[in-house]
Amino acid sequence: MILLVTKKELSKILSNLKGFDNPEISLEQYITPSEIASNFLWLVYMQRDIKGKIIADLGSGTGILGIGALILGAEKVYFVDQSLEALEIAKKNLSSVRIDKNRASFICKNVREFKVKVDTVIQNPPFGVKKLHADRDFLSQAIKLADKIYSFHKIESQTFIERFSEDNNFKSMLLYKIDFPLKWSYKHHSKPVKNIKVGVWKIERKT
């Protein structure tokens, strides 16, 4: 498939996708802003880990990363999330773009129960704001599924990610850092936006 969009065009398409109706606090369901998503996906694309690849989007939520990967030429994307409501929104979002629906598979499971081997895992797991180390389950499963993982984590997780990768015969690279805005979505939030210091990592199996 030939790339038909620029990064700016990708961000615009993703900005029109619907977010959560009733985010679940226990799952830390936050929207990934379209610009952050497009920057992330463009980097993975330029690493040659999207086009023509089979991809798992773990904790896919309403589908912004997986849909973006399909737009950039992924052969197939598995959208994996334990929230059926989120997956229903993701299906509607996919219907709003010109993508062959047969290239997408929606799996309502905890990520620990997803067993399909893929080329690349992309994920924006919970940051552990409500459940400490909530992202560990995602990493532990991702290394069972793929040789290459691209993942968002709180920046203070760097030491853990490096040790985890080394212990499992992977190498990790911090690609860049961002302020990730957690926009107001729960009644208990007192501020409209809370910025979290986040890093994007590439975690790759050693050869």
Least-confidence region, from 133-142, 148-157, 170-179: 133-142
Domain count of the fold of the chain: 1
How far, in Å, CA of 29 to CA of 90, rounded? 13
- CATH number of 134's domain: 3.40.50.150
Q: Is the pLDDT of residue 27 over 70?
A: no
- Per-residue pLDDT band for 5 (boundaries 50, 70, 90) equals confident
**145 belongs to a structural domain:** yes
Q: Is the pLDDT of residue 91 over 60?
A: yes
Q: Is the pLDDT of residue 26 over 60?
A: no
- For residue 124, give its domain range: 26-205
Q: What is the pTM of this model?
A: 0.90
Pairing of strands 170-183, 120-123: unpaired
Residue that is written with structure tokens 């409500």 in the block: 130
Whole-number pLDDT of residue 186? 46
* Residue 136 DSSP one-character state: H
Whole-number pLDDT of residue 132? 60
Q: What does the radius of gyration of the chain's CA atoms come to, in whole angstroms?
A: 16
Please say whether the beta carbons of 197 and 128 come within 8 A.
no
Q: Which helix (H) or strand (E) holds 56?
A: strand 54-58
**158 belongs to a structural domain:** yes
**5 belongs to a structural domain:** no
Q: Is the pLDDT of residue 105 over 60?
A: yes
Q: Is the pLDDT of residue 193 over 80?
A: no
**92 belongs to a structural domain:** yes
Q: Which helix (H) or strand (E) holds 115?
A: none
Q: Is the pLDDT of residue 23 over 60?
A: no
Residues 6+ apart with CB under 8 A from 97: 13, 67, 70, 71
